[in-house]
């Protein structure tokens, strides 16, 4: 009787935890329900309520406490929280907390862990969520191209699953990134597709209505950016009129009124802008970011009215709130507004002070948020412009002080001319130094990429750690990438000093054997064995195989014992089996779903995809192969223009491509096949093409135009490569 009563109370507590009554302390109810479930050993119930508690902490802005609670739940129920779906949700919630704490690097790391376990399980719904999470963080880091790619992958999966509401969300996310990239017309197209889907659903709840209004706001902002201001104003005014009867419509329409005021200002309609922002005056219950937006718009409107006192008052109020929230972007924005307002009033000293604080805040923000990517470079340029403005403003103050102290205009003119000349000289040398540093950074990057594309030594050591017979791994130019202790002992070699050596140069006994190897159409050795004459009296068999899944590494292993029939070595068998397994895995897509009808449909789609890939007519495959040929052609074109060298010199210098002798002439048969779609191998070695690009970008003194041209081609290929590898 007592146990039954306890279970009944616990069930009621869990039910109360999900109510949405704003006057009830739901968090307290949920914490009680969590403790009750844990006490009664209802671990699944505790986990369910625990996620609700973490969500409530997030809604209250207590992201650190939400994270602490999730960690404690993980430690309390390790068996459950290590199960796939629960672990995936746990990592996602922790990543969201770090995202809102603006710890983007940690958020990205956690989201990547969630993505990896979803990828291993091949759970499509979980994968779509993880792609979306990665897109959110990339956008916050201003890595817009990466964000767009992640959102598109999420959309692709959701379209496969046919979940219209989730598709609408992904379309909206893609549109928001396109807005930030300045691709306004494309953004409008995606926003309208998203809006059409959202309007199909019941929007009685606050979140659904807010989503529809937000999309209309974004469409209007995009229209204003491309000069269609009247159409943008019409959309916002219609949105206000259509939703004016909804409950809590004032709060729903807050950002709409702010955006309308901004567009009115853009159109020179100052009075209309003032009326629009005044509609928000009596709205209560706003979030902190909404209050900041109102201060920003009011300050801009008063500035346009030349009411500098009110403009400065609003900007200061916004600055204080932004500092309280530790919102670096808003702090920078209000410092800049205050500098502009004071400069417009003629108070150069105050303007100079605020401008200095803006630059300091902006620099700090750049260090935190824009360490990589195009946005970082854009902000660096903007910072240089602001520093120049600071210098000019300082000079203006110096001029005024000189005018007060001394009216000798001739002396003043000479000093001013000298200062400006010094400033120009300083700016010129600073610009040159920055350009030189940028070039060095690019060269370092490409050298690092070239090194990372090589097959890692650790992977080869791990793969062959149990092999006892003498064996050595070489690349296509026969430079040693790995050798085991048995090989070193047999030939009396030092392992470290032998790496990266040319095998026939290090051990001339292999030169004749290597010349006897037969090759396939891709200029790679076929599976075979050849004799190696170790000495005048001793001969062994050398078995040759190629590891297709490790950058086509060539594996040479020695059969020391004499038998009537050649016996493949353990290394040879290991590589052959591994190649077969990887070929099979590349075509598998394990799918788990309890809906039998949906499973059959998805399996049918996968089968069709595999047939397209095998037939070579897949659009992704075609774009991937075409861009590979274009990149290799560009490599050779830039190499010729910059060095006046030919294919032979490129192959020899880069050590990426094999040079052969045919009828007494040096040839690059393998490289030549990558210069035309007709001759491109069915399974091309894309790493060799990319290595060549990185080598040229790292080692050649290219002009700005040549470097940009090759970088653009390389970027296009990498995008197609990502799309192709994620689509097969």
Q: Quick one: tokens of 93?
A: 């919630």
Residues 6+ away with beta carbon under 8 Å from 248 = 206
Pairing of strands 665-667, 539-547: unpaired
Res 30: pLDDT: 86
Q: Are 259 and 293 in contact (CB under 8 A)?
A: no
User: For residues 205, 210, 212 and 216, what is the CA-based torsion angle, rounded to 10 degrees?
Assistant: 160
Where do the domains of the chain lie, and which CATH numbers do they carry?
A: 457-585 (3.30.450.20), 618-727 (no CATH)
Res 648: pLDDT: 86
Task: Put the strands of the sheet holding 553-559 in their side by side order.
Answer: 480-483, 471-474, 553-559, 539-547, 528-533
- Of 140-149, 363-372, 606-615, the poorest mean pLDDT is in 606-615
Res 508: pLDDT: 92
d(CA 241, CA 237): 6
DSSP class of residue 714 equals H
The half-sphere exposure of 618 on its side-chain side, counting CA atoms within 13 A, is 21
List beta partners, residue 473. Answer: 482, 555
The Cα angle at residue 685 between residues 684 and 687, in degrees rounded to 5: 140
How far CA 154 is from CA of 132, 137, 157, 391, in Å, comes to 6, 14, 5, 47
d(CA 299, CA 322): 15
Res 408: pLDDT: 62
Ranges of H-type helices in 503-595? 503-506, 509-515, 570-586
Res 38: pLDDT: 80
Instruction: Give residue 427's pLDDT band: very low, low, confident or very high (50, 70, 90).
Output: confident
Element (H, E) at 164: helix 164-180
pTM of the model: 0.47
- Of 189-193, 431-435, 532-536, the poorest mean pLDDT is in 431-435
Element (H, E) at 490: helix 485-491
Is the per-residue pLDDT at 1 higher than 50? no
């Amino acid at each position: 009787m007592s146990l039954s009563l306890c279970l009944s109370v616990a069930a009621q507590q869990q039910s109360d935890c999900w109510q949405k009554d704003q006057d009830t302390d739901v968090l307290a109810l949920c914490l009680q329900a969590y403790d009750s479930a844990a006490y009664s050993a209802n671990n699944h119930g505790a986990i369910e309520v625990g996620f609700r508690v973490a969500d409530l902490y997030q809604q209250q802005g207590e992201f650190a406490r939400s994270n602490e609670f999730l960690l404690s739940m993980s430690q309390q129920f390790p068996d459950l929280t290590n199960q796939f779906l629960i672990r995936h949700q746990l990592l996602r919630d922790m990543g969201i907390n770090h995202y809102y704490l603006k710890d983007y690097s940690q958020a990205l790391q956690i989201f990547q862990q969630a993505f990896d376990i979803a990828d291993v399980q091949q759970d499509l719904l979980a994968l779509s969520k993880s792609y979306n999470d990665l897109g959110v963080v990339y956008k916050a880091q201003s890595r817009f191209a990466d964000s767009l790619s992640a959102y598109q992958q999420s959309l692709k999966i959701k379209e496969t699953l046919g979940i219209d509401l989730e598709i609408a969300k992904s379309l909206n996310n893609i549109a928001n990134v396109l807005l930030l990239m300045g691709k306004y017309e494309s953004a409008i197209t995606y926003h309208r597709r998203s809006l059409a889907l959202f309007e199909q659903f019941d929007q009685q709840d606050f979140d659904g209505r807010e989503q529809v209004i937000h999309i209309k706001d974004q469409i209007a902002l995009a229209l204003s950016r491309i000069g269609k201001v009247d159409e943008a104003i019409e959309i916002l005014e219609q949105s206000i009129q259509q939703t004016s009867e909804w409950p809590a419509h004032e709060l729903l329409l807050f950002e709409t009124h702010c955006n309308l005021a901004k567009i009115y200002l853009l159109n020179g309609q100052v009075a209309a802008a003032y009326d629009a922002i005044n509609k928000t005056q009596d709205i209560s219950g706003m979030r902190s970011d909404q209050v900041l937006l109102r201060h920003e718009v009011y300050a801009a409107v008063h500035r346009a009215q030349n009411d500098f006192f009110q403009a400065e008052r609003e900007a200061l109020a916004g600055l204080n709130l932004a500092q309280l929230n530790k919102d670096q972007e808003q702090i920078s924005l209000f410092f800049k507004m205050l500098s502009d307002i004071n400069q417009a009033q003629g108070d150069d000293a105050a303007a100079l002070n605020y401008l200095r604080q803006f630059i300091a805040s902006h620099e700090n923000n750049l260090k935190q948020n824009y360490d990589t990517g195009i946005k970082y470079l854009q902000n660096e340029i903007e910072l240089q412009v602001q520093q120049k403005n600071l210098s000019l403003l300082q000079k203006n103050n110096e001029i005024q002080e000189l005018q007060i102290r001394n009216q000798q205009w001739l002396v003043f003119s000479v000093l001013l001319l000298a200062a400006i000349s010094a400033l120009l000289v300083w700016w010129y040398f600073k610009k040159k130094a920055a350009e030189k540093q940028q070039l060095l950074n690019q060269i370092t990057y490409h050298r690092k990429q070239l090194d990372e594309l090589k097959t890692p030594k650790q992977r080869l050591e791990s793969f062959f750690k149990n092999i006892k017979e003498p064996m050595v791994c070489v690349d296509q130019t026969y430079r040693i990438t790995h050798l085991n202790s048995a090989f070193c002992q047999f030939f009396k070699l030092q392992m470290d000093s032998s790496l990266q050596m040319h095998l026939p140069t290090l051990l001339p006994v292999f030169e004749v054997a290597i010349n006897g190897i037969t090759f396939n159409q891709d200029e790679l050795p076929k599976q075979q064995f050849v004799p190696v004459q170790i000495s005048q009296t001793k001969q062994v068999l050398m078995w040759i195989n190629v590891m297709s899944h490790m950058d086509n590494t060539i594996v040479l292993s020695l059969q020391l014992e004499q038998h009537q029939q050649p016996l493949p070595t353990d290394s040879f068998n290991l590589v052959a089996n591994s190649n077969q397994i990887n070929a099979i895995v590349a075509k598998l897509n394990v799918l788990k779903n309890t809906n039998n009808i949906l499973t059959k449909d998805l399996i049918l789609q996968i089968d069709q995809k595999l047939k397209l890939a095998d037939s070579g007519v897949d659009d992704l495959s075609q774009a991937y192969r075409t861009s590979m040929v274009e990149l290799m052609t560009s490599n050779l074109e830039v190499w010729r223009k910059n060095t006046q060298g030919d294919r032979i010199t490129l192959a020899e210098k880069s050590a990426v491509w094999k040079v052969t002798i045919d009828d007494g002439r040096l040839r690059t048969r393998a490289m030549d096949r990558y210069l035309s779609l007709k001759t491109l191998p069915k399974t091309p070695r894309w790493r060799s093409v990319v290595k060549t690009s990185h080598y040229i970008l790292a080692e050649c003194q290219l002009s700005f135009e040549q470097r940009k041209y090759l970088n653009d081609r390389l970027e296009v290929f990498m995008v197609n490569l990502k799309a192709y590898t994620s689509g097969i």
